[in-house]
A and B are shown apart, each in its own frame.
Chain A
Amino acid sequence: MQPTPTAQRYIPRMLAILFVTLLAALTMATFSVSSAHADEVGTEFDFTISGNVQFNGDALDGVAIAVDGNGYQADTVTDTEGRWAIGVPEKGTYEVTLDEETLPKGVVVAKGANVINAEFGLTDRKSVNFFLGEDTRNTVSFFDQFVNRFVNGLNFGLLLALAAIGLSLIFGTTGLSNFAHAEMITFGALMTLVFAVQLGLPIWLAILIAIALSGALGWGLDAVIWKPLRRRGVALIPLMIVSIGLSLALRYLFQYFFGGSTSQLPGAGQTDLKFGPISLSPIDLISMGISVVVLLGVAYFLLRTRIGKATRAVSDNPSLASASGIDVDNVIRIVWVTGAALAGLSGVLWAYFRPGVSWDMGFQMLLLVFAAVTLGGLGTAFGALIGSIIVGLFVELSTLWLPSDMKYVGALVVLILVLLFRPQGIMGRKERIG
């Protein structure tokens, strides 16, 4: 739904027309977030060769692709989503070439595989995909890859845990499965983008402001939506559906204001430092450090402070906690503020990990957060931490065996398997019926 910046500059008028048509088409078609190519050639033909150039799940744009065969030649470049498509006049065999010169630094096509002979099958479309690798790939042993992925997975698990603990605390104290948690994650990253890039503040200050604003968002959502709904005695499943509506509304509100493109936070994409087999960027190291410190802080808060204990008491049994003199509403308010602030921080770290800030980045991560919380046992904060680390490790380590575009599949399959054998989660208690 988003044009490439260059295209927008050169042909604004045509684009306006294109988008009106696109909107009309969308109404008749469907709500899909990704759609047409900005740069298609040969659209006048019935048959299309297309593909998607990605490396480790990141789309590569501006990669030149050429098609040659049956007396026809055409070339194109990939769009921001890494996609390309070339229309061809007839079915048959074509030679598809990827121009290695146009690949970003450090990415290569497997030896001799930059030319592929594509033959149409029964369909009118033919997908051609190139297998890309890291420049150094051949020299890395399996063990080294494993260690490297492991550390990456730990990093991902830790940032996942920041979001998961908030979600788990909210579930524990209010019973709400909050789908809008995804947007609280995105919000943190977007606010950092606004203050660091658009307003030019130092990054540490921008992050602090973003976290504070996230906390304020959590407070506001509780005060404006959730507390009144609790007062009305709205049941849990309607509440969950309200959170789905809120999630949709906020997500498209973000897209409304920030557009569909991906932006980078300052400092992203720094060169990796080498620690034996492990290559990490300074940002990764800082990210892991921040996660560990904050998680320790949360643990201290829950175990040692008065309000933290009250939180656990409310999680266990709200009516009993209320009867023993705990201000349940206050506890829930604090949980919302803390949960939202943690989600915001998680969003910032996620923006560096992916890397990039986009309007639906939180939603991309939400299912993994839910998986982590369920794995650990619904409503237990420490379970959420363990669940997150497991999910994080699983996602990263599975890329050793699975193609990287299937890395989430493994984590989700594990979720279903765990529920099959231990429905209460790893840390959860067995339920009593009757």
Chain B
Amino acid sequence: MSANAGLDPVAPLEPPVPTQKPIKTTGLHVGDAEPGCRKVDPILVVDKVRRSFGGLTAVDVDHLEVPRGAITALIGPNGAGKTTLFNLLTGFDKPNDGKWMFDGRSLAGMPAYRVARMGQIRTFQLTKALGLLSVMDNMLLGAKGQTGENMFRALLPFLWRTQEEANRAKALDLLTRFKLDTKKDDYAASLSGGQRKLLEMARALMSDPTLVMLDEPMAGVNPALTQSLLDHILNLKSQGMTVLFVEHDMHMVRHIADWVIVMAEGKVVAEGDPHEVMKNPAVIDAYLGQHHDEDIGQDPGAETEHVSAIKELLDDER
């Protein structure tokens, strides 16, 4: 997941601010706020997770704990390995080695769909609204444990009709909250980029998750919608869910995050309170030491090979 050049958040004139004043959760960690520090009540514990593509190590996290019931931001320069870490933690990619626990249960080697069933739901940086399904169908797909999702039971509507109606009511409720209820019968493809982000988040909530992982929820969203998105994220916390999100926009991070984890070159380089962590020299180094502006491509190996091929090419030209 990359190439976000065209999707960077449109810089608003004034930084987006949630409509209500966020109540920050404090006292999350034990001891000093250093990389890999222990948390009072961690929901996700990562140990020695490493992933390399060809010769390039994309993620090499020694130890990381994500606090329960709080909003944690995962930040870092482009190519720091944030999305790769997301993919690893949610079962969308396999690490070379390492293990991690969610709610005390090991997730290593577990396929993505089982991770999701355990209550750890993710969204994607490039939204994955199911374009040719209606908005309502998108929502209904999110519901867990549906009887009618078995092929043979699907033939007998009376077995799943009641459950379907309940899911439909729940979906409509969520859609109303996300102001998408008027669009429920439209194809998801007809929604704007921001509305798709909202739909994806609403869809994730259909399964009553315990941990919501949002990959750049603000990327490509119209500024008018950012505020409501921020509100929704804060609401997740007030409803008792844990949020882990990747974000580039520092204003937003400062406003809503209770805890910030900074990654650079695949490693966790700093952790802490959002206001404190920004002053950390390691963070400033990480952002300034960035080699290039564009995100690293689908396959870093290919990219370096490619860059060298182009360099050769240009050398020939001279």
Co-assembled chains A and B: yes
> Which residues of A are in contact with B by a Cβ distance under 8 Å?
306, 309-310, 312-313, 316-317, 319-321, 324, 326, 429-434
User: Which one, A309, A319, A434, contacts B92 given CB within 8 A?
Assistant: A434
Instruction: Identify whether the interface residues of B are mostly helix, strand, loop, or mixed.
Output: helix
Cβ–Cβ contact B297 & A309, under 8 A = no
User: Which one, A312, A317, A431, A434, contacts B297 given CB within 8 A?
Assistant: A317
Question: Which has the most chain A C-beta neighbours within 10 Å: B53, B301, B313?
Answer: B313
Cβ–Cβ contact A317 & B93, under 8 A = no
Between A and B, 13 residue pairs with Cβ closer than 8 Å are A306-B313, A309-B309, A309-B313, A313-B306, A316-B306, A316-B309, A320-B303, A326-B313, A430-B53, A432-B299, A433-B87, A434-B84, A434-B93
| Alpha-carbon distance between A310 and B314 when the two chains are bound, in angstroms | 10
Is B110 positioned at the interface, with any CB of A under 8 Å from its CB? no
Is B189 positioned at the interface, with any CB of A under 8 Å from its CB? no
Is B298 positioned at the interface, with any CB of A under 8 Å from its CB? yes
Is B302 positioned at the interface, with any CB of A under 8 Å from its CB? yes
| Alpha-carbon distance between A434 and B298 when the two chains are bound, in angstroms | 9
In the assembled complex, the CB of A424 is this many whole angstroms from the nearest CB of chain B, namely: 11
**Residues of chain A lying within 8 A (CB to CB) of residue B301:** 429
**Residues of chain A lying within 8 A (CB to CB) of residue B53:** 430, 432
User: Which one, A310, A313, A324, A432, contacts B298 given CB within 8 A?
Assistant: A432
Cβ–Cβ contact B316 & A306, under 8 A = yes
Contact A320/B313 with A433-B93, A434-B1 known, Cβ cut-off 8 Å = no
Contact A313/B309 with A429-B299, A434-B87 known, Cβ cut-off 8 Å = yes
Cβ–Cβ contact B306 & A320, under 8 A = yes
Give chain B interface residues in 74-118, CB to chain A under 8 Å.
Answer: 83-84, 86-87, 92-93
Question: Which has the most chain A C-beta neighbours within 10 Å: B298, B306, B317?
Answer: B306
When C-beta atoms are compared, the residue in chain B nearest to A308 turns out to be B313
Cβ–Cβ contact B302 & A324, under 8 A = no
In the assembled complex, the CB of B54 is this many whole angstroms from the nearest CB of chain A, namely: 8
When C-beta atoms are compared, the residue in chain B nearest to A317 turns out to be B306
Cβ–Cβ contact B87 & A316, under 8 A = no
Nearest 4 CB-CB pairings of A with B: A434-B87, A316-B306, A434-B92, A324-B310
Residue tally, chain B, CB below 8 Å to A: 25
Is B305 positioned at the interface, with any CB of A under 8 Å from its CB? yes
| Alpha-carbon distance between A434 and B93 when the two chains are bound, in angstroms | 7
In the assembled complex, the CB of A308 is this many whole angstroms from the nearest CB of chain B, namely: 10
Is B312 positioned at the interface, with any CB of A under 8 Å from its CB? yes
| Alpha-carbon distance between A319 and B305 when the two chains are bound, in angstroms | 15
Cβ–Cβ contact B92 & A433, under 8 A = yes
Question: Which has the most chain B C-beta neighbours within 10 Å: A316, A317, A432?
Answer: A432
Cβ–Cβ contact B93 & A432, under 8 A = yes
In the assembled complex, the CB of B226 is this many whole angstroms from the nearest CB of chain A, namely: 25
Question: Which has the most chain A C-beta neighbours within 10 Å: B302, B306, B310?
Answer: B310
| Alpha-carbon distance between A432 and B299 when the two chains are bound, in angstroms | 7
In the assembled complex, the CB of B293 is this many whole angstroms from the nearest CB of chain A, namely: 13
In the assembled complex, the CB of A433 is this many whole angstroms from the nearest CB of chain B, namely: 5
Contact A313/B299 with A306-B316, A434-B87 known, Cβ cut-off 8 Å = no
**Residues of chain A lying within 8 A (CB to CB) of residue B86:** 434
| Alpha-carbon distance between A312 and B305 when the two chains are bound, in angstroms | 10
**Residues of chain A lying within 8 A (CB to CB) of residue B83:** 434
**Residues of chain A lying within 8 A (CB to CB) of residue B84:** 434
**Residues of chain A lying within 8 A (CB to CB) of residue B92:** 433-434
Cβ–Cβ contact A310 & B313, under 8 A = yes
In the assembled complex, the CB of B200 is this many whole angstroms from the nearest CB of chain A, namely: 15
In the assembled complex, the CB of A323 is this many whole angstroms from the nearest CB of chain B, namely: 9
In the assembled complex, the CB of A425 is this many whole angstroms from the nearest CB of chain B, namely: 15
Give chain B interface residues in 274-318, CB to chain A under 8 Å.
Answer: 297-299, 301-303, 305-306, 309-310, 312-314, 316-317
In the assembled complex, the CB of A305 is this many whole angstroms from the nearest CB of chain B, namely: 9
In the assembled complex, the CB of A96 is this many whole angstroms from the nearest CB of chain B, namely: 52
